[in-house]
Amino acid sequence: MERSPRIVAFGELLFDLFPDGPRLGGAAANMAFHAAALGARALLVSRVGDDPLGRRARAELERHGVDVRFVGVDPERPTGSVHVELTDGEPRFSIGEQAAWDRIEVSPELERELAGADAFVFGTLAQRTSLGSGALGRALASLAPSCLRIADLNVRPPHVSNEALGLALDRASVVKLNEQEAERVGEALGCDDPVAALFARGISVVAVTRGARGAVLHTRNASASHPGFAALPGGDAVGAGDAFTAALCLELCRGTPLERLVARANRYASFVASHRGAMPEPPRELLAEMAALH
């Protein structure tokens, strides 16, 4: 039997505050949830407050198969939150300050756990404080040389500086970004071809998502694109990018060919975009459909 990859997500665990109530979210938490749903051994490194939302978050993720041993509990700061506004189905975010996940801790026990990871996924938002950036650096230093280091940029102005962006790119072997983020990277690096610039920095795989128009994957020697799958009406697209990252990560660990990989990741992202909230549970039929995609 094929060994399930050990995938670690580092970063924010919070609640998305929609007009109709709070839903569990945060890029790292979303990624861990979907990695577990797709069959990975998923571990989340984050921090919540000592409050009802924090307890709910840990319990809900654990119930869905995510290892939450390294989701710490902060005695002072609250569980993070984000106000979400939807305009024509596209979300806009207002991210709360001074959240528990700004103070992630990296213990010796976690460092030992990270040494066995197959993939480590991180973004820029968890670097918005020097404490978070330092914790991320210690986590990355604990990884084995063979571990995939996947930067899902997840740029959320005004929380991301060019310095944080550069640090993320320097620490990654794989980069996933959307078209707007690709423009931001081009501006930060002073170039017209951000994909070529990323390869020049040592990145091995670049994934550019294009919303409803699918995505394109680039390696140094090949590219593969997919036009995307239509999302069903009524969804809010929150978490679709994180779902894409989860599928991308899992298939990279498995060595899946690029064409099949980009098709599967797009299919899974369209499923999430068809629902409200970032963590809909995928039915078995969807997983079977994805496995059959070539």
Q: Give the model's confidence band at 154: pLDDT under 50 very low, under 70 low, under 90 confident, else very high.
A: confident
Q: Is residue 1 a part of any domain in this protein?
A: no
Q: Is residue 213 part of a domain?
A: yes
Q: Is 284's pLDDT higher than 90?
A: yes
Within 10 Å of residue 97's Cβ, how many Cβ atoms? Answer: 10
Number of domains in the chain: 1
Tens-digit pLDDT profile for residues 233-276: 989 888 999 999 999 999 999 999 999 999 999 999 999 999 99
**Res 34 pLDDT > 90:** yes
User: Encoding tokens for residue 246?
Assistant: 């989860």
Are the CB atoms for 57 and 24 separated by under 8 Å? yes
Residue 189 phi, psi (nearest 5): -95, -5
What pLDDT score was predicted for residue 21? 86
Task: Tell me the CATH number at 177.
Answer: 3.40.1190.20
Q: Which of 19-28, 237-246, 265-274, 278-287 has the lowest mean pLDDT?
A: 19-28
In a domain, 218, yes or no: yes
Tokens for 62?
């654990």
Question: Which residues span the domain enclosing 103?
Answer: 6-292
What is the rounded end-to-end Cα distance, in angstroms, of the chain? 21
Does residue 98 belong to any structural domain of this protein? yes
Concatenate the DSSP letters of all residues of 121-170 into one string. Answer: EE-SGGGSSHHHHHHHHHHHHTS-TTSEEEEE----TTS--HHHHHHHHH
Sheet bearing 41-49, strands edge to edge: 71-74, 41-49, 6-10, 119-122, 148-152, 174-178, 205-209, 215-219, 223-226
**Is 12 among the domain residues?**
yes
For residue 294, the model assigns a pLDDT of 79
User: Do the beta carbons of residue 12 and residue 82 sit within 8 Å?
Assistant: no
Could you read off the pLDDT of 163-204 as tens digits, one per residue? 888 889 999 999 999 999 999 999 988 999 999 999 999 999
Domain annotation covers residue 22: yes
Q: Which of 35, 13, 31 is nearest to 22 (CA)?
A: 13
Q: What is the pLDDT of residues 52-106, one digit of tens each?
A: 999 999 999 999 999 999 999 999 999 999 887 777 666 777 888 899 999 999 9
Q: Is residue 182 part of a domain?
A: yes
Residue 133 domain-assigned (yes or no): yes
pLDDT for 89 equals: 63
Peptide bond connecting 158 to the previous residue in cis, omega within 30 degrees of 0: yes
